[in-house]
Chains A and B, each alone.
Chain A
Amino acid sequence: EPEVTQTPSHQVTQMGQEVILRCVPISNHLYFYWYRQILGQKVEFLVSFYNNEISEKSEIFDDQFSVERPDGSNFTLKIRSTKLEDSAMYFCASGVGWQFFGPGTRLTVL
């Protein structure tokens, strides 16, 4: 069964550093998403992406964040200058109606 994959599974970084989280969506899906979940809280939407452009973004998704689909398979989330409060689990999802989630990348900012 096809699935969404994410790398790395865990990333530790220093405050102020740039990180890139990678995702490979399910191949025939057209809509891609990033969500995050701070420990103990609910899952929050960050951004959706369709037809090579952002279709919607939340207030969380400020200028520090960017997304890219550099080739036909990968979908990336970049955080330019990480803050302590960016520590969270980041989920990638793809869908054609209902959304399938990857296993997540746990980002720890020290």
Chain B
Amino acid sequence: GIQVEQSPPDLILQEGANSTLRCNFSDSVNNLQWFHQNPWGQLINLFYIPSGTKQNGRLSATTVATERYSLLYISSSQTTDSGVYFCAPPGGTSYGKLTFGQGTILTVHP
């Protein structure tokens, strides 16, 4: 099945800093999701981004499917951004199982 690698594994920032999280995947994909897992364990949908760039407030994401990677940008980070960020492309069909990476643990200090 598809392999998913996320980097960096851990990231520590001061409030207000910007960051880029990367997701590499081994096979071509026709969609990809980014999630934020908050300290209570909930998986919050951030983006559904098969290709191109999307923006939502301070967050944006870019997927370059032909080169098999996706990037998540966080600008002007806040303490509430802390948590684990996962990327998850599907295996096989668009409606297939999501394969999660190991995640990036983000800690934002005030």
Q: Do A and B come from one complex?
A: yes
* Interface, chain A (partner B; CB < 8 A): 31, 33, 35, 37, 42-45, 48, 50, 56, 58, 89, 91, 93, 95-101, 103-104, 106
Q: Give how many A-B residue pairs fall within 8 Å (CB-CB).
A: 53
Q: Which residue of A44, A58, A96 contacts B100 across the interface (Cβ within 8 Å)?
A: A44
Contact of B86 among A43, A48, A93, A99 (CB under 8 A): A43
Q: Is the CB of A31 within 8 A of B95?
A: yes
Closest 8 A/B residue pairs (Cβ): A98-B48, A45-B97, A43-B100, A101-B43, A42-B100, A31-B95, A42-B102, A103-B42
Q: How many residues of B contact A (CB 8 A)?
A: 21
Q: Which residues of chain A come closer than 8 Å to B45, judged between CB atoms?
A: 98, 100-101
Chain B residues positioned under 8 Å from A97 (CB to CB): 31, 48, 94-95
Identify which of residues 85-110 in chain B touch chain A, using a CB-to-CB cut-off of 8 Å: 86, 88, 92, 94-103
